[in-house]
Amino acid sequence: MSALHRTLVLAFIAGCSVVGCLGSTEVEPEQSDEASEPVEGAICDTAREGADISLSCPAGEVITAVDFASYGTPRGVCGSFRATSCNASTSKAVVERACLGQSSCTVTANNATFGDPCRRTTKKMYVQVACAPSEPDGGEGGSTGEGGSTGEGGSTGEGGSTGEGGSTGGEVCGNGVCGAGEDCSSCSSDCGECSTCSGAGPSTTPLDTEEQAFLSIINQYRAEKGLGALSGCTALSRAAQGHSEDMRDHNYFDHTSQDGRSPWTRAANACYASAERTAMAENIAAGNSTAQRTFDQWKNSDGHNKNMLGSAFKVIGIGRATGGGTYGSYWTTVFGGTSDASCN
């Protein structure tokens, strides 16, 4: 990355940027698991930091309880897991929101999902769940309806969004229920009147030529890696474009707005209905006006590249603002795990 181009890049991954991560000097040493026998019939999985926890119930059953969940430095074997002082407080809540009511689910063990409970330490994730026969006629998507957001470092989004899997009529406008496929814009009688969406205005939210080029480039890249294409999302583009314009107009470069809003708050304020209950990530860049050069910036940065190749993401918002600020051009991409009505 050439300093001659006055290029800056940041990745919102647990406080990390390309210049490193802040960390505590007090780190609990890695300890070996004590030898013991796993409990027969328990549904468990473990994963190192950056890998996925995958849980599956026997046929005809769904996950009814999360008996143990710890992202940090847990110990033990299936049936006798235990947490240590390095344990993300969000661990159980995130797994419950992603997995309860599902026959199977996947959760990524990383700081973006759970926050960083002990910096400068390699983390891992241990989970144990209980399964039981599903209730007859009770499988309207199999979701808890809460999603999986930690509020700070993103959310799981894998298997935890509302209504994924088919509602039995909850999406009929006028039935008094705001279904997963409805929102205030598509059915105000069920979901209420829309509040004003913040972010960019209607003249700059639609993708311009370079933004459309970026969408093509990233989807070609994902296809090469065996990943599905991302669809453009109006609400996320409203948030992305608004943040790029704000950085340009107020001459700063940061994931946190000058009024203190996080990427996830901006997405929610831009009317992305799934902001609090799905996987999300944000990349920002400055210094290049073209899609290809900005893509190359992010591809050559590990954190940004991981966001672009996130398997949990289904939609993207893209925002480019030029003609001001120290760096002349500012880019924001916001990734989401759910395509809802606000994306149309």
Q: In angstroms, how far apart are the furthest CA atoms of the chain?
A: 64
Q: Indicate the pTM of the whole model.
A: 0.50
Q: Alpha helix locations (H) across the chain?
A: 91-99, 111-114, 188-191, 209-224, 234-250, 263-269, 291-299, 302-308
3-state DSSP call for residue 333?
strand
- Rounded Cα distance between 238 and 207, Å, is 10
* Cβ count near 315 (within 10 Å): 24
Report pLDDT for 268.
93
Q: How many CA atoms lie within 13 A of 308 on its CB side?
A: 29
- Rounded Cα distance between 88 and 72, Å, is 6
pLDDT digits (tens, 9 = 90+) for 287-319: 999 999 999 999 999 899 999 999 999 999 999
Which of 94, 112, 106 has its CA nearest to residue 53? Answer: 106
Q: Are 3 and 302 in contact (CB under 8 A)?
A: no
Residues of the chain with pLDDT under 50: 1-9, 11-40, 136-170
- Rounded Cα distance between 138 and 147, Å, is 18
pLDDT digits (tens, 9 = 90+) for 202-235: 999 999 999 999 999 999 999 999 999 999 999 9
Which of 217, 250, 283 has its CA nearest to residue 9? Answer: 283
Would you give the DSSP letter of residue 325? T
Which of 76, 99, 198, 197 has its CA nearest to residue 157? Answer: 99
The residues with which 104 forms a beta bridge, in sequence order, are 56
What b/e sequence results for 81-117 when a residue is b if at least 16 CB atoms lie within 10 Å of its CB, and e otherwise? bebeebbbebbbbbbbbbbbbbbbbbbbbbbbbbbbb
Q: How many CA atoms lie within 13 A of 143 on its CB side?
A: 22
Report pLDDT for 88.
87
Contact residues for 197 (Cβ-Cβ < 8 A; gap 6+) = 235, 238, 269, 270, 271
Would you give the DSSP letter of residue 48? E
